[in-house]
Structure 1
Amino acid sequence: MISAAISTSIDQCTKSLFSDLGLPCPADLTIAIEQPAQLEHGDYATNIAMQLAKLLRKAPLHIAEALKSKMEADAELMKVIQRVEVAAPGFLNLWVDWGRWAAAEIGGEAGVGAGATSATQPFQNGKVVIEHTSINPNKSAHIGHLRNSCIGDTLARLLRRTGNQVEVHNYIDDLGNQLADTVVGLQQVQLDGEHARFGDFCWDTYAAVNKAYGENPALLEERTRVLHALEEGGGNVAWLGLLVAERIVREHLAEMRAFGIKYDLLVWESRIVREGFWQAAFDLLRQTPQFALETDGKLAGCWVLRETEAEAADAGAADKAEGTDSAGDAYHKDKVLVRSNGILTYTAKDIAYHLWKFGVLGIDFRYQPFEAEVWSTQPTGEAAPFGRADMVINVIDHRQSYPQAMVKQALAVLGYAAQAERLRHVGYGVVSLSPAAAQELGLDTSAGKASYAMSGRQGIGIKVAELLDRMEGVIDAKRSDHEGLASREIAAAAIRYYLLRFSLLTEVVFDIAQATEVTGNSGVYLMYAHARAASILGKAGVVEPLAAPAFAEPEKAEHALLKQLADWPDRLAAAARELTPHTLCSYAHELAVLFNNFYGACPILKADAESKAQRLWLTAKFQATMADALGVLGLPAPSRM
């Protein structure tokens, strides 16, 4: 990475400057390197001299000149930097020697992101477990679930791409209220009509039984009975629940596979309960003063995880800042893990699961193949090296921040503070429907809202399989050339990119027309740019990787594209460090725009020999970098659309 080379040089030169002055260099100095928006300000710039002005009690321009002299004496840096200039009030501006950059390893294929690898590993030489999807196995998946899966899968690709060992889990909640509702519905509600898939039938069953609860509240007692039966296992109801869950999980996996989403392990919640994982966690928690059985009040009979003194202080400070008083608020104080009727909360099972994820519970699952390349927890299976994570990343709706904090607190209470620090919750905003999409589903949009929420209980939403079918039809109708990538692949890529490109906490208002646009910030636009580059190289007869040419002074469009290409390792590193897939979408879109600008401004195949060699190399470099970015985002890199 060019920025890493610059940062290393500035760090060494700064230490040398402090040493020359007989002063200790501060250990917490942050060196910021940026790419200026204006080309006349250099390819890279830093304000380090202004940061040092107060410490050294010297003018920033004087400090910048001293650093400039030291940097120019750095032979390693000057292999890729053409010149260094000082600009008022104390900036250091650096220009890259693009010919040397192209010829060096930092500009070759190995350099595309390779320099980012070791610096971006969340846990050096460790294992990262990513949990995502984790859909209730009681009905077909909808696009809100798909956003979770696309984010999680992209994080897995991103962390693998930057040199991490990654294991992907899909947690199957086969003991929850939702599955119990579907089981009650299958037993108590009569449905008519044709359904293409079992999950679609259960979609309508789930909506119907929730309507029935409103009409006949006594039916809720049946749900409680079913929940107990599912937890106990072995009886007719438990087997019915297992058959429903397994059938729907297979449908979910097939739906996700169409989007390139894969898993290593399915972890079934029932196995956590029936094979003693919760009991082992319970025994550990009972040894702590924070976990106790309530004997009076509204939580009498419940096992709760009480807040620590530090939490109480934090909550009190927050209340004081907000002008509120939550002195008796159970939300802060009483975190129920086992209800008075003996039913475990979701968080209780999640605590046991995370103790196992980090390899500190003392017991393990057994495993067997569920389908191709996907394993499943199964008591009659075999031993395998799953779990034992050094870092855990959970992709879960941002509204689940509180339960995630409870899991983190439980780890800390049990003495696993280091593991608690290495538990990361990647929250994201919900997916709702645009007015046009809602209207297509037959919803009443007369209220004129900007978006319409989905509701599984009411049967309102866009199913993943139906969305892919619709999008395939839209893509097929729009395209004139059907010889390239299949319309279904383009549709899946368009949907996936649309769900990824928004910042994580943004509510995504899904609109079919926007997702299939061929211009603007869309997956289709990115794939077209890659296909255009492939076409140019094909017409030029390029079949082998091109050697870097002797670079002439690049034109403005070439220069802008070069800077963006050089920035890929930094952007890849930042996305891995911050766990932000949407920043990769921004990078890829900017790259496609700059390549198309370059294509429009600079003749390639009809250029003179020197310019043609340079521009073909740039085109090949763009294609390789875009293919890398598309691969991390989980999109195809087609040679023809």
Structure 2
Amino acid sequence: MLQQLLFNEISLHVDNLLQEGGVERPGTLKIVTEHPAHIDHGDYSSNIAMLMAKIIRKAPLLVAQDLQSRIVENGCIEGLFYKVEAVAPGFLNFYIQWDAWAKWKSQTTISLGESGHSKKVVVEHTSINPNKAAHVGHLRNSCIGDSLSRMLAHAGYEVEVHNYIDDLGNQLADTVVGMLHTSSDETFERFGDFCWETYAKVNQAYRNQPDLVQQRSVVLHALENGNSNLAWMGALVAERIVREQLDEMKQFGIQYDVLVWESSIVKAGFWDTTFELLSQTDMFDKVADGKLAGCWVLRNVEQKSDAEDENEDYQSDKVLVRSNGILTYTAKDIAYHLWKFGLLKNDFAYKKWGDGLWSTVSQGRKKSIGHADKVINVIDYRQQYPQEMVKMALKALGFESEANELKHVSYGVVSLSPSTAAGLGIDTADGKSSYAMSGRQGIGIKVADLLDRMESVIHEKRPRKAGISSRTLAAASIRYYLLKYQLLTEVVFDLEQATEVTGNTGVYLLYAYSRANSIMDKAAKDARLHMIEPNFDAALLEDQEYQLLRHMAYWPETLEASIQQLAPSLICHYAFELASLFNHFYSACPVLKGTDSLVAHRLWITQTYQQTLHQALALLGMPTPKRL
């Protein structure tokens, strides 16, 4: 990676300069390289000389000039830079030697500094309650998790993708109660849509018939015991919903290795073993009095503020076993994570669910699943505290290193824009900037409905329909829309904006990609051009070509940063700028016209662009069609 070579070279001379001055290198001295906004300032720049100035008591510009002369004498970083410049007040600017870079690139594969080296990482994502159809907020989770899985696999990790199914939770119990105590005469195309309405109806019924809430506890006990008519009903509902959800996710290119059912955790005795382990610590005990009397609680040694302790959400997350004997979600999650890291004597049994997909069951085959070196959970920011409790439990049990390898990828929720909310019948008279989706109220954009709507828009706007299907294009566009935001950004979902096909959209990227394929195909079929081999020549560089080339040179470091930060949005931003620069190049620099040397030069740029964007799209989980 070019940036890494540059970093190593600067670091070498910084160490030598400090050593000659008898100064030890401070741990706080960080070498940072940046991409100058103005091309006159080079392709990379560093302010390291200004950081060193105080340490060696020398003017920043003199330090920069000293470093510049050492770098030049050492060969300008393997000849990859034709000029290194020291400028006031103390910057080092580096200018890429493009002929040398093109040759170096063709002989070099991308090497990521943080490669997995065969370490195993378990990525848990999606994990939708199996009680109704999925909505667009759920889909954001799935798209993030799937792209992270692709990125980590590219970095060399052995990636195992889990989808956790909470088939013992309140939401499934509510849907079962709704089936038994509410009615409907509507016609539904899918079972998930029926359950969507039923879940909303039962929550309305709870408000009108408070005594009905007691039925939820009855169903919860039945689900956990697992043998009654109610338990079978809950299992059938959950299984059918999960099958529909998986079918929806598959249309977005999202797949899993394992379905982990919460009921399997209970039946396999994971909690019993975890209870024994926690009982041996000073942080887990049974509360004798007060509002938590009879509950088993995990004590937080780093106590929250009084205000937080009084908050029911925080308080309930400390409770692992309620006074009525029902386990909380956090209790089962702790047991599950001990298993993920291979720290429990218990294990699951498995059965085939589909192609390449396994499901936990009471009786089945043994598989080498779990035993992770690193665990990544994609869960929205509202679950930060429960995730901290899991990490705290691992530390309390002495598993410090495993706790440090447990990563929570937190992201902002998806809400609705005022116009979209109004279209769903929500009263927007209060003038809020966004409106929350609510399963209890039946308010939200279902994944299936959004995909149908997007498919219709794209099919209507496509001038030609000979390539990939409009539905595939629609799924790619939705996926890109949900990935392009920074993780912690709340996505204010606007239906009209989401179905745009111009600007910073997935459709724009795919058209820019297919355009490069079309150019390469035409060159191969043209009798005059098909014998011309792509070949780079820096002497022929036009400004639009240089801008595109410069951006392509930054791809390896962008990819590494996205993996280190677990941030797919960095790839989205890079890909959009890459596509935009290519379209400018395409408009200003006819690729297939001119002398053979000029055509060969521009074919090389087009081919390199196509390969770069192909990799970015694949990591984002988007298709790479030859034509649209």
TM bin, normalised by shorter chain, reads over 0.9
Gaps of 5+ in 1: none
The match for 1:149 is: 142
1:486-534 CA distance string (max 9 Å, x none): 1001100111000111111111122233223332211111111101111
The match for 2:408 is: 425
The match for 1:261 is: 254
2:159 paired with 1:166: yes
The match for 1:108 is: 106
Q: Following the alignment from structure 2 to structure 1, what is the Cα–Cα distance between the partners of residues 420 and 507? A: 20
2:155 paired with 1:177: no
Cα distance change on mapping 1:512 and 1:14 into 2, 3 Å = same
Cα distance change on mapping 1:331 and 1:532 into 2, 3 Å = closer
Cα distance change on mapping 1:142 and 1:327 into 2, 3 Å = closer
Which of the pair has the greater relative contact order for Cα pairs under 8 Å at 6+ separation? Answer: 1
1:325-363 CA distance string (max 9 Å, x none): 668777777811111111111100000000101111222
TM-score by length of 2: 0.96
Q: Following the alignment from structure 1 to structure 2, what is the Cα–Cα distance between the partners of residues 327 and 588? A: 45
2:271 paired with 1:288: no
User: What amino acid is the match of 1:271?
Assistant: S
The equivalences for 1:85-234 within 5 A come to 85-104=85-104, 107-108=105-106, 111=109, 114-116=110-112, 119-121=113-115, 124-234=117-227
Gaps of 5+ in 2: none
Shift in Å at residue 297 of structure 1? Answer: 0.7
Shift in Å at residue 547 of structure 1? Answer: 4.8
CA contact (8 A) 2:540 2:598 kept: no
Moved more, 554-563 or 488-497: 554-563
2:514 paired with 1:531: yes
CA contact (8 A) 1:516 1:522 kept: no
1:530-560 CA distance string (max 9 Å, x none): 0111112222228899554232152221111
Cα distance change on mapping 1:110 and 1:491 into 2, 3 Å = farther
Cα distance change on mapping 1:470 and 1:333 into 2, 3 Å = closer
Cα distance change on mapping 1:326 and 1:518 into 2, 3 Å = closer
Q: Following the alignment from structure 1 to structure 2, what is the Cα–Cα distance between the partners of residues 377 and 258? A: 24
Which of 611, 627, 634 is matched with 2:598 structurally? 611
State the secondary structure of the residue aligned to 2:219. Answer: helix
Cα distance change on mapping 1:251 and 1:94 into 2, 3 Å = same
Q: Following the alignment from structure 2 to structure 1, what is the Cα–Cα distance between the partners of residues 566 and 130? A: 27
CA contact (8 A) 1:174 1:245 kept: yes
State the secondary structure of the residue aligned to 2:415. Answer: strand
Shift in Å at residue 601 of structure 1? Answer: 2.1
User: What amino acid is the match of 1:640?
Assistant: R
The match for 1:568 is: 555
User: What amino acid is the match of 2:91?
Assistant: F
The match for 2:499 is: 516
Shift in Å at residue 448 of structure 1? Answer: 3.9
Q: Following the alignment from structure 1 to structure 2, what is the Cα–Cα distance between the partners of residues 407 and 379? A: 25
State the secondary structure of the residue aligned to 2:384. Answer: helix
1:145-173 CA distance string (max 9 Å, x none): 00100010010011111221111000000
2:441 paired with 1:441: no
User: What amino acid is the match of 1:79?
Assistant: G
Q: Following the alignment from structure 1 to structure 2, what is the Cα–Cα distance between the partners of residues 103 and 157? A: 28
Q: Following the alignment from structure 1 to structure 2, what is the Cα–Cα distance between the partners of residues 490 and 544? A: 34
1:277-327 CA distance string (max 9 Å, x none): 01111110011111000010111000001111xx13xx4xxx5xxxx7668
Q: Following the alignment from structure 1 to structure 2, what is the Cα–Cα distance between the partners of residues 20 and 544? A: 57
TM-score by length of 1: 0.94
Cα distance change on mapping 1:142 and 1:301 into 2, 3 Å = same
User: What amino acid is the match of 2:39?
Assistant: L
Cα distance change on mapping 1:364 and 1:614 into 2, 3 Å = same
2:329 paired with 1:363: no
Which of 307, 313, 319 is matched with 1:336 structurally? 319
Q: Following the alignment from structure 2 to structure 1, what is the Cα–Cα distance between the partners of residues 454 and 397? A: 49
Q: Following the alignment from structure 2 to structure 1, what is the Cα–Cα distance between the partners of residues 565 and 483? A: 15
The match for 1:578 is: 565
State the secondary structure of the residue aligned to 1:552. Answer: helix
State the secondary structure of the residue aligned to 1:299. Answer: coil
2:22 paired with 1:39: no
CA contact (8 A) 2:84 2:93 kept: yes
Moved more, 185-194 or 150-159: 185-194
1:455-477 CA distance string (max 9 Å, x none): 11111111111111111011111
Q: Following the alignment from structure 1 to structure 2, what is the Cα–Cα distance between the partners of residues 422 and 341? A: 34
CA contact (8 A) 1:199 1:251 kept: yes
2:242 paired with 1:244: no
User: What amino acid is the match of 1:52?
Assistant: M
User: What amino acid is the match of 1:612?
Assistant: V
The match for 1:627 is: 614
2:391 paired with 1:395: no
Q: Following the alignment from structure 1 to structure 2, what is the Cα–Cα distance between the partners of residues 478 and 553? A: 38
Give the % identical residues: 55
Moved more, 67-76 or 456-465: 67-76
Cα distance change on mapping 1:428 and 1:326 into 2, 3 Å = closer
The match for 2:391 is: 408
User: What amino acid is the match of 1:115?
Assistant: S
Cα distance change on mapping 1:268 and 1:327 into 2, 3 Å = closer
Shift in Å at residue 191 of structure 1? Answer: 1.3
- RMSD of aligned C-alpha atoms? 1.9
Q: Following the alignment from structure 1 to structure 2, what is the Cα–Cα distance between the partners of residues 549 and 601? A: 18
CA contact (8 A) 1:152 1:395 kept: yes
State the secondary structure of the residue aligned to 1:541. Answer: helix
The match for 1:473 is: 456
CA contact (8 A) 1:169 1:267 kept: yes
Moved more, 533-542 or 475-484: 533-542
CA contact (8 A) 1:71 1:77 kept: yes
The match for 1:600 is: 587
User: What amino acid is the match of 1:288?
Assistant: T
